[in-house]
């Protein structure tokens, strides 16, 4: 969408499962401002069944708000887009929405929306593993919401403080925040807010009791473990009653996963199996990959049933998802569970390797946190520059939108630009696509030896080398995926062609003369690739990322899988 081509609301395809009241609001809207409000409401409704649909509606709402010259509606659309991007594990995109919303709040005095923006920023901080910054943001969001007297924002901040505590493995703090949430709910009169918050309250309480029961079990306190597990099941009965009144597919899936874990802690394998089956069936209908509770409960169940191979397969499926999305916190949870499984099976070399992987992931996560901080400063600078270059806030947002698709260091696509270019490649679902992940080997040594400026030169140089390999691949998408990792997606005729491209990229990096950029240093790269039909591109990306890790573990400077 560009300033020269106004968005036509009449061409928008609305989801089929919208409630009548939202459709009536859309049909009765008198202007673009009211249409933007209607679309934001639709996007909020669609979050529970399809985050992708919610994102499309939110983008349309933002464009209509800009056409209408309505900064408050634009800010609300950006808040929603930031929330959806966080749940779709698009941290850069979420940060961009937050930065733009913050700019509008400052420019137009929309202080009553600040708590919502900070809340979304906290979710993004959690995804990249920066729990301290997330906690600070949520405390700020709570304080701001209390000053503004917004009951919904107060409740959301308390919900997320509880979720943060559970994610950090602190069930006691989670239950404290959830008790405060329950007290807050008792002061409310808006039925919709009450129902929403009650669902979150019960689900997060159940999660806390799962943690308490596991902790008691691991400390050799079976009576305390049983008591906590039974309390968790009581909470889930309250959750079931709440969900009948105000259904939420996402919350119900998580509750079934918690139920499976609690039954397993009580030794009830049949109850655990039934709950896990319900969670898995419902999760297949959800357009989200944020929550790992479902594959984790399946893994625990399979181990309890004496099938550690199936348990490891469950863990690897979850791991491929969270690794491809650079989710440090969840990666650590899964790797620790895998290491413990290997130890219980007496497979100590495998357990040690998994722990080494966990250490490497921690080092990578620290780099990503630093990159995210730099990204935040870059976004602020871009918005300041846009303020000088553009005459209106709408033009500034559109200018920032264009820049948001490009990695400022290498000039390649960033994750968002890659995501938005994919539909052109995946339109024909039967066509084969190759997904390649390329990672610069020992990149930390480059930074240590040549400073971060040298690291930046290395990234720019590798980007140029990879571009040069694509002269015969006119439809290829090349992006910097984060840190020192690049991704390339292109149509291919078969796996052999994909391997040849991966090997060409690897050889080009290894053969390049790096003397001028990095005196005394030679760069190499590891490449993982996978080939799938376009409709299975997410699976190809997950496989390629896992294959990259295998190339690293096999000694680096190689392609995986090797040619037949």
- Find where tokens 């390329």 sit: 438
Helix axes 114-127, 131-148, angle to 10 degrees: 170
Q: Which strand ranges, in their side-by-side order, compose the sheet holding 525-533?
A: 477-482, 485-491, 432-440, 525-533, 559-560
Query: Which pair of tokens denotes residue 375?
Result: 């990204």
Q: Single out the catalytic residue among 72, 484, 485, 546.
A: 484
The verdict on whether 59 is a catalytic residue reads no
How far apart, in whole angstroms, are the C-alpha atoms of residue 324 and residue 157? 28
Asked if the bond preceding 561 is cis, omega within 30° of 0, the reply is: yes
Do you know the residue count of the chain? Answer: 564
Residue 434 and residue 487 in contact, taking contact as beta carbons nearer than 8 Å: no
How far apart, in whole angstroms, are the C-alpha atoms of residue 15 and residue 514? 52
- Find where tokens 């729990």 sit: 131
How far apart, in whole angstroms, are the C-alpha atoms of residue 534 and residue 429? 4
Residue 543: count of CB within 10 angstroms of its CB? 21
Query: Which pair of tokens denotes residue 298?
Result: 């399946």
Q: Which residues are CB-neighbours of 90 under 8 A, at least 6 positions away?
A: 415, 416, 419
- Find where tokens 């679309």 sit: 39
How far apart, in whole angstroms, are the C-alpha atoms of residue 42 and residue 53? 9
CA 29 to chain centre: 33
Task: For 225, list phi and psi in degrees, rounded to 5.
Answer: -65, -45
Residue 294: count of CB within 10 angstroms of its CB? 23
Helix axes 308-324, 328-344, angle to 10 degrees: 160
- Could you give the residue numbers annotated as active site? 484
């Amino acid at each position: 969408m560009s300033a020269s081509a106004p968005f036509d609301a009449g061409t928008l395809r609305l989801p089929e499962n919208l409630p009548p009241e939202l459709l009536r609001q859309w049909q009765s809207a008198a202007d673009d401002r009211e249409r933007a409000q209607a679309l934001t409401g639709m996007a909020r409704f669609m979050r529970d069944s399809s985050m992708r649909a919610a994102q499309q509606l939110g983008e349309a709402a933002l464009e209509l708000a800009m056409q209408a010259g309505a900064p408050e509606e634009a800010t609300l659309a950006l808040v929603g887009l930031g929330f959806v991007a966080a749940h779709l594990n698009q941290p850069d995109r979420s940060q961009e929405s937050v930065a733009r919303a913050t700019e509008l709040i400052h420019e137009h005095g929309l202080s009553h929306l600040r708590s919502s923006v900070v809340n979304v920023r906290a979710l993004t901080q959690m995804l990249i593993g920066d729990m301290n910054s997330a906690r600070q943001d949520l405390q700020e969001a709570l304080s701001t919401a209390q000053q503004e007297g917004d009951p919904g924002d107060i409740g959301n901040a308390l919900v997320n403080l509880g979720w943060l505590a559970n994610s950090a493995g602190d069930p006691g703090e989670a239950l404290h925040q959830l008790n405060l949430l329950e007290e807050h709910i008792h002061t409310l009169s808006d039925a919709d807010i009450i129902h929403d918050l009650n669902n979150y309250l019960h689900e997060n309480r159940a999660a806390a009791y799962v943690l308490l029961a596991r902790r008691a079990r691991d400390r050799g306190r079976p009576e305390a473990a049983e008591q906590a597990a039974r309390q968790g099941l009581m909470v889930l009965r309250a959750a079931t009653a709440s969900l009948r009144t105000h259904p939420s597919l996402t919350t119900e899936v998580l509750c079934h996963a918690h139920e499976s874990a609690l039954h397993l802690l009580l030794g009830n394998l049949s109850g655990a199996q039934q709950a896990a089956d319900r969670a898995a069936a419902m999760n297949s209908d959800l357009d989200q990959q944020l929550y790992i509770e479902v594959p984790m409960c399946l893994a625990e169940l399979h181990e309890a049933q004496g099938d550690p191979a199936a348990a490891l397969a469950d863990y690897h499926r979850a791991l491929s998802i969270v690794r491809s999305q650079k989710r440090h916190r969840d990666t650590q949870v899964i790797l620790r569970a895998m290491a413990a499984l290997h130890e219980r099976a007496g497979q100590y070399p495998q357990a040690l390797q998994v722990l080494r992987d966990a250490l490497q992931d921690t080092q990578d996560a620290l780099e990503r946190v630093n990159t995210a901080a730099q990204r935040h400063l870059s976004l602020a600078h871009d918005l300041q520059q846009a303020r000088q270059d553009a005459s209106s806030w709408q033009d500034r947002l559109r200018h920032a939108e264009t820049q948001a698709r490009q990695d400022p260091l290498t000039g390649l696509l960033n994750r968002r630009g890659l995501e938005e270019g994919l539909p052109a490649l995946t339109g024909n679902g039967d066509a084969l696509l190759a997904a390649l992940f390329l990672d610069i080997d020992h990149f930390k040594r480059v930074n240590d030896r040549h400073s971060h400026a040298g690291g930046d030169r290395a990234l720019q140089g590798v980007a140029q080398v990879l571009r040069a390999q694509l002269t015969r691949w006119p439809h290829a998408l090349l992006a910097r995926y984060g840190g020192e990792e690049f991704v390339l997606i292109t149509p291919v005729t078969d796996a052999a062609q994909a391997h040849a491209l991966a090997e060409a990229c690897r050889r080009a990096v290894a053969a390049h003369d790096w003397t001028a950029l990095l005196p005394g240093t030679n760069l190499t790269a590891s490449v993982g690739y996978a080939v799938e039909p376009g409709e299975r591109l997410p699976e190809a990306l997950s496989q390629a990322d896992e294959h990259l890790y295998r190339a690293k573990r096999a000694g680096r400077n190689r392609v995986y899988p090797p040619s037949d």
